[in-house]
Structure formats: structure tokens, C-alpha cells
A = this chain, B = another copy of it.
Amino acid sequence: MLLSKACIYAIRASLYIAAMHEQQRPFVPIREVSDKLNLSFHFLTKIFQQLTSAGLMKSYKGPNGGIAFTKKPAEIKLIEIVAAVDGLGLFHECVLGLPGCGKNKPCPLHDKWAYTREALQIMFSSTSLDELTSKGKRMNLRLSDEISMEDLISP
């Protein structure tokens, strides 16, 4: 699996929150996200704690509280979420799990892997949340096996 479950959930949840952000609802309660996306509330809470401690989100307790991004969704790239949850190893490490990739003489797999690894990195670092949410309303970005971005146009 490319991304851990926690990381996948983090991205899906981020897309939901980005969509709410566009509707002038910066702080979204975690419970709402977990309900809508059919994710475990407590598990999601822990995931969001990773995102907040990475500086990507801020939280507010109490009624009308919730979590919100610290930047506009247009400025948040998917790779920041991946980095906060799974780390950046995928984009730097050896596909065969050996230490010190490409440090000395590169191996014969290296060129191919380095190319593919960079394609991965480019994909995650060139895609912003708002790009997906705005396109998602037209293009059927699903956030769970039940709901699409389209369903979120009016909450």
C-alpha cells in the first residue's frame, strides 16, 4: 500500500474540510467529519492531532469549535498531509528498503526508481486541496464509498 490508512483518512478528511472552508465554515467539528466520511471519530481525532502538531491545522474547543486549516486550501499541497502522517520516506528511500539510496554508486534500479519516485513526489506536491475540491464538485471526487464532493455543495 502506498499510503497508510491514517494518511488516506487524513487526505479525505482534509478535502472535506477544504470544501467546508470554501463555504465560509473554517472550523469544522471532528464529529461531523467522521460522521460524513464514515470514519472512526477517535481515530480521526488522533490523526488531526498529528496535523495540528505539524502546524497544518489549528483546533478550537467547546461549542462551535472544531478544526481548521492554518492556511487557505489553495496553499496546501497533498504532500504536506502525507509528510505529517506518513513522513517523506516514500519520496527519498530505496524501493528495496536499503539504507543510503544513491549515496555511493547508484544501482541499476536506481534510475527507474528515482524517476518513479519523483513522479510520486510531483503528484503529491503539485496538487493542492482547493484544486481537488473545486474540480471535485464537477468531477465526482468521492470522499467515501457513499458520498461525493458534489453532495457537499449545499450542506
Contacts and interface: CB of A to CB of B under 8 A. Distances in A.
A138 to B, nearest CB: 8
Interface of A: 1-3, 5, 8, 11-12, 89-90, 95-99, 104-109, 112-113, 115-116, 119-120, 123, 126-127, 131-132, 135-136, 139-142, 144-145, 149
Contacts of A113: 123
A9 to B, nearest CB: 9
A14 B38 CA distance: 41
Nearest to A90: B2
Given A1-B1, A2-B90, A5-B97, A107 B123 contact: no
Nearest to A133: B108
B96 A11 contact: yes
B116 A123 contact: yes
B115 A119 contact: yes
B95 A142 contact: no
B139 A108 contact: yes
A139 B12 contact: no
